[in-house]
Structure 1
């Protein structure tokens, strides 16, 4: 499902919806992974991208903190505060001009969502060719399937809690698979 939360990009929403209708049925045969029950691609203002990405990072830091021994938790909490402060400072520029898509858990158990900032898609040239937009949408759609398969990395954290925070080469595996 494609949603335009800006109220200004109905054509982009229709394009994304058309791409999803064509490629979603191909994810399972191509990757071997099922998609979540609800997949949404949300076209959002940069401020929404910033706040939701910061909230997701905070959730991951809290989850990581809870997996660590009790005596390490205060240090992780302090480090998390520094990371979130730095993210909030940098995210205005990143979200507005550089980030093409950010996939994260949805509000429900079997839901996943991608946040798209139209200005970033335009600035990076994604909107200059329908094929470029299709590549971004397909790439993020595969991330939805990966997230479902790993329960948003929950299945991997029992062995290495840092995988919650994109450590230990997981991002290379995920990105390479999505490409």
Structure 2
């Protein structure tokens, strides 16, 4: 379930295993989704984390090119490829964990102890538990979209899902679920930001490009989280989102949950 591939952090592997054991059932109960396979967490070095994320993104690019080869999509994918190499080099320190789909088609969560330390999560069990719940929510989502490429394509307009609020849905669902789990588990409001950040973390986060991107990401997660929170009594309807992208909220519906509900309710 938790594999330390650095062979240097057995204690962290044990802590994460215990958190996953507790957070798993809670996250399932909150979301109304079931884990199809035991969750897999991998503890990696920063360089190996970057390599795994690059491989995942290259896999997405290759699929897009295979299914939509016109010049417009090639240019879009190439620009994304160039931009993210530099982004990954700088952003790993601010990304304690990320959940991806590997080349075998299974989801797994990649963790770097160095990023956990810089983010202050090793010193805050509640914040670390909230992080685990968030990544489990991502895993549940990935399991139930069943490899539908429309959720992660770089060219959504070619798949007919340009108006789908994908980032709001994915980040918002994980934010909402992890907040609910934290409230039930720790009887406290989820707040990873309260953890004591390192000086290197604060310097990196304060770079203008990083600051702007993180501000946008927080806004997207907040708006998406509010969407799910406002409809949490309608979990059955919410989980229809994962059966087909067209059942997900559009950019206009993400701030108008009742309009989305009226559109998709049977």
TM-score (norm 2): 0.58
How far apart in 2 are the matches of 1:86 and 1:106?
22
- Equivalent residue, structure 1, for 2:249: none
- Equivalent residue, structure 1, for 2:13: 13
Q: What SS does the aligned partner of 1:39 have?
A: coil
Give 1:65 shift: 2.7
Relative contact order, higher structure (CA 8 A, sep 6+): 1
Asked if residue 131 in structure 1 is aligned to residue 126 in structure 2, the reply is: yes
- Equivalent residue, structure 1, for 2:167: 171
Q: What SS does the aligned partner of 1:34 have?
A: coil
- Equivalent residue, structure 1, for 2:94: 98
TM-score (norm 1): 0.83
Contact 1:163/1:170 (<8 A) preserved: no
How far apart in 1 are the matches of 2:58 and 2:150?
19
- Equivalent residue, structure 1, for 2:198: none
Asked if residue 119 in structure 1 is aligned to residue 134 in structure 2, the reply is: no
Contact 2:138/2:170 (<8 A) preserved: yes
Aligned CA distance change for structure 1 residues 120 and 152 (closer, same or farther; 3 Å): farther
Aligned CA distance change for structure 1 residues 162 and 138 (closer, same or farther; 3 Å): farther
* Higher mean displacement: 47-56 or 79-88: 79-88
Contact 2:59/2:103 (<8 A) preserved: no
Counterparts of 1:3-42 in structure 2, within 5 Å, are: 3-42=3-42
How far apart in 2 are the matches of 1:144 and 1:171?
15
How far apart in 1 are the matches of 2:54 and 2:88?
9
Q: What SS does the aligned partner of 2:40 have?
A: strand
Give 1:120 shift: 1.0
Q: What SS does the aligned partner of 1:140 have?
A: helix
How far apart in 2 are the matches of 1:134 and 1:153?
29
Q: Which has the higher strand share?
A: 1
Give 1:152 shift: 3.8
- The aligned length equals 172
Q: Which deviations, in whole Å up to 9, do the C-alpha atoms of 1:54-93 show, x marking residues without a partner?
A: 111111122223333x5x2x34234323322322223122
Q: What SS does the aligned partner of 2:110 have?
A: strand
Residue ranges of structure 1 left out of the alignment (5+ in a row):
none
- Equivalent residue, structure 1, for 2:191: none
Could you list the structure 1 runs, at least 4 aligned residues long, displaced by more than 6 angstroms after superposition.
Answer: none
